[in-house]
Structure formats: C-alpha cells, structure tokens
Amino acid sequence: MSDPMADLREAVASVPIWYHTMELAPGVVSPGWFDLRPIVDLLPWPDVRGKRCLDIGTYDGFLAFEMERRGAAEVIAIDIPDHRDWDWPPDVRAHGGENLAKIAGPEKGGGFLIAKEALGSKVERRPISVYDLTPSLMGTFDVVTCGSLLLHLRDPLRALEAIRSICSEHFMSSEAIDIRHTVLSRRRPLLVLNGIGELCQWLTPTLEGHRRMIRAAGFQIVKATKPYADPYGVSHPPPGRGLRERLNLAMIRAVCGRIGVPHAAVLGRPLFP
C-alpha cells in the first residue's frame, strides 16, 4: 500500500522549480523561490467571503489558494501556459522560453496541480494572458489579485486596463518596486526601464510609480502599504557578495525590515467599467 505523504513528497520533488513556498500537508512544504507566508497578512486584503475572485499570473497559486482559504465562493486563476509566451525582450526572444523550459520544466507553474490536489482545492486554473481579459471572455469578478507580474510585462498599463474591465469591486496589486529610486525620489512616480536580458524585466516602479500606474489605469486607491520585502524561499539563489550587492541588501533591510525583493501593495476600486 502506498504512503500518501511519501507520494506527495515525490510529486513535490518532481517539479524542477517551485515559485511559491506552500505547506501542502503537515511536514510537506514546497521549496519555493519566494515564501510569502510571513507577509501575506500585511497585504491590503478586501473581504473575499462569498465573492467571485480572480488571481492573475498565479504560477503555483499561492494567492489563489489564499483567497479560497479566506472564504471566496469561487476562485479562478490564470497564467500563460508556455514559457515562450512571456514578454521576452528582443535580445533573448529567440531562445528565452526554450532556455527557461530547460530549467523550470516544460509546463509553467507545474506545481499548481500538485498543490490543488494536496490542498483539496476547487480553484480553477485557465491558460489566459492578462492582456486577453475581457468581460465577454471571463465575466466580471468581485475581487482581483495580481502579484509580482507588472515588471515582467512590456505593456503594464494595457494589462491594468484589461484588469479594470473585469473588476467590479476591488483590485489588489502587489508589485516589485525599485528601492533605490524609491529612497532617492520618494515623491516622484518613476518607472525604471530595463528591457533586456533573461530576467524578463521591463519597467520596475518606485513606490509612487506603482500607485500612479494603478490610478492611471482607472482605479481609486483605497489602501496602500509601505515598502516590504517578499522573503526568499529555500530555492532562491543566494544574493551576490559584491560591494554593490551588499549595499543594496543593507538598504532593503533598512527600508523593508527584512531581506528579499522589495514590494508594495495597493487596494483599488475601479472608477468606471
């Protein structure tokens, strides 16, 4: 007779890269790149009880499963189905998806189905790009969440307007921010352009830049956080040890209170359909 816990551990180990750290059963934790458990209650959550909810760019599904845990009536999670569907910058577009598939496995977010079964979840995952969201395709949602996605999009404002079109009550955006320019230009809504390389990062906002993006897409901000850091999980590569990296880590710790990737979150309401 098979051992369910042993089977689950084997399934977890079969996923080359877990993005999210999640406790899937007592003593069974996915080895994620990021562990959002310490900061999840810092986010500006709306009341999701009895609501129809959508999680965008779900990957392994941490935020989607969290909405279900908090009492959502229905949760749909969307993500691109293939690594080639990322908004790859031109210099790596030819082979970016292929190279990532060799590291992360052919299916993006392969841990989602394992986590769903282990958690006994009813969350439904659909292969849809944020750019394609429309009321005719998806209907509307009371609550929409999106975590750490905008910096990977070439057209984040286009994506945010698509989100607004299907959001009827609340949108919670948790996004990576550029901590250096946030400190140096606290009141300026800046976007720091990268646009090259296999990290697939386009525009990283400052704290005020993130808030301005949400407002520019047609949302009224009703809650906002201070900067915080998404903590690294056990699988995340260790930070560099050079002087620049150490100074950056010191700034992150001073501003965010811990080491990780600097983020900020807002809760918005759509101003118009």
For the chain, the domains span 4-270
Could you tell me what percent of the chain has a pLDDT over 70? 99
Q: Which of 20-24, 219-223, 242-246 has the lowest mean pLDDT?
A: 242-246
Judge whether residue 241 has pLDDT over 90. Answer: no
pLDDT band at 110 (very low <50, low <70, confident <90, very high): confident
pLDDT of residue 57: 97
Looking at residue 240, its pLDDT comes to 85
Tell which phi-psi region holds residue 150, choosing left (phi > 0), alpha (psi between -120 and 50) or beta.
Answer: alpha
Using the predicted structure, report yes or no on whether residue 171 has a pLDDT greater than 80.
Answer: yes
Separation CA 224–CA 120 (nearest Å): 32
Q: Which DSSP string do the residues of 166-200 spell out, in sequence order?
A: HEEEEEEEEEE--HHHHHHTTT---EEE---STT-
Distance of alpha carbon 214 from alpha carbon 210, whole angstroms: 6
When pLDDT is cut at 50, 70 and 90, the band that residue 273 belongs to is: low
Query: What is the amino acid identity at position 129?
Result: S
Say what the pLDDT of residue 142 is: 98
CATH class of 4-270: alpha beta
Task: Work out the average pLDDT over 128-147.
Answer: 98
Which residues are bridge partners to 167 per DSSP?
141
Computed over every residue of the chain, the mean pLDDT equals 96
The whole-angstrom separation of Cα 255 and Cα 234 is 23
Three-state SS sequence of 92-116: CCCCHHHHHHHHHCCCCCCHHHHHH
pLDDT tens track for 209-234: 999 999 999 999 999 999 999 999 99
| pLDDT confidence of residue 19 | 96
Over residues 54-77, the mean pLDDT reads: 98
Mean pLDDT of 21-26: 97
Tell me how far apart the alpha carbons of residues 166 and 145 are, in angstroms, rounded to a whole number.
Answer: 12
Average pLDDT over residues 65-89: 97
User: What is the mean pLDDT of the segment spanning 76-98?
Assistant: 96
Q: What is the pTM of this model?
A: 0.96
Percent of the chain at pLDDT > 90 equals 93
**Phi, psi of 60, deg, nearest 5:** -85, -10
Lowest mean pLDDT among 173-177, 185-189, 205-209, 212-216: 185-189
Give the mean pLDDT of 109-133: 96
8 φ, ψ (degrees, to nearest 5): -65, -45
Which of the four pLDDT bands, split at 50, 70 and 90, describes residue 66?
very high
Give 3's pLDDT tier (boundaries 50, 70, 90). Answer: confident
Cβ(125)–Cβ(61) under 8 Å? yes
